[in-house]
């Protein structure tokens, strides 16, 4: 945290800006071996599965991605493509319902 941020910590306007700057960002490796940065817009559960909605931070990208959150054999969290079309439709519908409640 910079000295300026420390000195303005009690200012509510500065607090709002700081909150906006603290996005939940992750980096993933794409199919070409290139690192891509995403903002995690939301995570949610359906039945016993958890999902993440990711939005690329590149300005030319306009499409969000929804991936299933799983744990691998080492106990590490991984993101997995949703292969089943019916599951994907259910997840998209659930996310849209959640987004409609927020907006």
Ordered by start, the domain boundaries in the chain are 25-102
Kindly tell me if the per-residue pLDDT of 4 is higher than 70.
no
pLDDT averaged over the chain?
79
Q: What does the DSSP assignment read for 44-88?
A: EEETTEEEEEEEE-STT----EEEEEEE-TTS-EEEE----HHHH
Q: Is 0.75 topped by the overall pTM?
A: no
Quote the CA–CA distance of 38 and 24 in Å, as a whole number: 8
Q: Which residues contact 81 (CB under 8 A, 6 or more apart)?
A: 67, 68
Q: Between these two residues, 49 and 10, which has the higher pLDDT value?
A: 49
């Amino acid at each position: 945290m910079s000295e300026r941020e420390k000195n303005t910590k009690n200012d509510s306007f500065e607090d709002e800006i700081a909150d906006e700057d603290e996005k939940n960002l992750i980096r993933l490796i794409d199919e070409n071996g290139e690192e891509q940065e995403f903002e995690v817009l939301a995570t949610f559960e359906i039945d016993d599965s958890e999902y993440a909605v990711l939005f690329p931070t590149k300005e030319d990208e306009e499409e969000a991605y929804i991936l299933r959150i799983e744990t691998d054999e080492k106990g590490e969290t991984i993101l997995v493509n949703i292969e089943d079309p019916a599951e994907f439709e259910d997840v998209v519908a659930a996310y849209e319902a959640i987004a409609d409640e927020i907006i």
